[in-house]
Amino acid sequence: MTTYKSSQDWIAGIASQGVVTIGDPRLKAPTAAVDVIGEVEALLDEMVARLRALNGAGLAAPQIGASVKAVVVEVRKTDVFPDRPEHPLTQMVNPVILRHSEELVTDWEGCFSVPGLMGLVPRHQHIQVSYLDESGNTVTNDFHGYAARVVQHEVDHLAGVEFLNRMPSMDSITTVANYLTHHRP
């Protein structure tokens, strides 16, 4: 588990991984569907490496400057979220959310592209997603709980949507340091 001495160290780690941050037009640019999985194999490998270096749960291609429909998700326990349920590495190309539960759960989210800030975001508790896996196979998968939250967050990036856009109120926005001190369960 990676531990940072301060939120400034965490932000420096994000910058060192070349993550595109809020305000950069690449985060809002349209993303293209991938026709041939071989076109993004190296990109997926790079995304997994950066996700793990940052000790995160998800990363979308636009966050590293690539305007294609690709996301990687791997939920592991971290110092910020030590109790979250784990989910194995899932690489998704051209993901489409087919169905979602009516039930919404509001919880804290952060984002590498919005470094140092967190906010309360409502998300569907369960979703069903169709995508191409890293081998080019069409997969339909169900995601629940925290994994569903991460997938929705990353798929939003493919449409130029940041978690801040999903917050019903900016009243809950806080720094990572304040989250750790005052809001973490």
Binding residues for Fe cation: 111, 153, 157
The C-alpha angle with vertex 78 and arms to 55 and 69, in degrees rounded to 5, equals: 40
Strand partners, 58: 73
- Output the known binding site: 111, 153, 157
d(Cα 72, Cα 51) in Å, to the nearest integer? 8
Phi, psi angles (nearest 5°) of residue 120: -85, 125
Is 134 noted as a catalytic residue in this protein?
A: no
Instruction: Point out the catalytic residue in the list 46, 134, 154, 162.
Output: 154
Edge-to-edge strands of the sheet including 117-124? 104-110, 117-124, 174-175
- Catalytic residue annotation: 154
